[in-house]
Amino acid sequence: MFSNTAKYAIKACLFLAVNSSEVNKLVIKDIAEPINVPSAYIAKILQALSKKDIISSTRGPKGGFYLTKNQFQTNVMQIIEAVDGEERLNSCLLSLEKCNSDNPCSLHHLVYEEKHKINERLKRTTLEDLRQHIMRGESILPL
C-alpha cells in the first residue's frame, strides 16, 4: 500500500512526536536505531521531510530533529504525499491513470467507498492524535 519510504517517514515523524521537542532534539542515530531503519536511509528521508517543512532541524552541536507546535498538527496523508507523491494513493486499481468515478473500472465499485474512507481518516488524523493513542497504550510504534 505505502512504499517503504512512506512507512519509514511516518515512523520517524511519530517517533519525533513522542520523544522530541524544541528543547530536546534528536540526532539521526537516536531516531534510526529505535525505529529500526538504516540510518543513512532515514537521514535522507528526514532531509526531505525537513525541506518540506514537515519536521524541523538545526545543524551543528546540540542540533537535531524535532517538531514545532504546528508540526504536531501535520496529518498522516501529508507525510505520505511528501515522500510518495500524490498519485500513488489515488491511482486506479486497474489502469495506470487516476481513479475516476465517472468512468469506473471493473474494480472501482468494490473498493472506492472504503478507500475514500481510509483516505479521509488519514487526512483527519494528526501526529498529535497518534501520539496520544500511543501514550494511552492503544497502539504501538512498531520496530
Residue 33 touches which of a second copy, ligand FES, DNA, none (Cβ within 5-8 Å per kind): none
Least distance to a second copy, CB of residue 59, Å? 28
Give the DSSP H or E segment for 100. none
Cell numbers linked to 112: 472506492
Q: Interacting stretch for ligand FES, rule CB under 6 A, among 26-34, 74-82, 97-105, 126-134?
A: 97-105
Report how far residue 64's alpha carbon sits from residue 105's, in angstroms, rounded to the nearest whole number.
47
Residue 122 touches which of a second copy, DNA, ligand FES, none (Cβ within 5-8 Å per kind): a second copy
**Is residue 46 a contact residue for a second copy (CB under 8 A)?**
no
Cell numbers linked to 48: 526531505
Pick from 22, 36, 41, 68: which binds DNA (CB under 7 A)? 41
Report how far residue 131's alpha carbon sits from residue 113's, in angstroms, rounded to the nearest whole number.
28
Q: Which is nearer to ligand FES, 27 or 94 (CB)?
A: 94
**Is residue 141 a contact residue for ligand FES (CB under 6 A)?**
no
**DSSP 8-state assignment for residue 70:** G
From the list 135, 118, 96, the residue with the least C-alpha distance to 2 is: 118
Cell numbers linked to 19: 520523544
**Is residue 27 a contact residue for ligand FES (CB under 6 A)?**
no
* 8 Å CB contact between 26 and 16: yes
Q: Which is nearer to a second copy, 62 or 138 (CB)?
A: 138
**Is residue 68 a contact residue for DNA (CB under 7 A)?**
no
Distances (CA, A) of 70 to 34, 73, 79: 24, 6, 14
Binding interface with ligand FES (CB under 6 A): 92-94, 99-100, 104-105, 107-108, 112
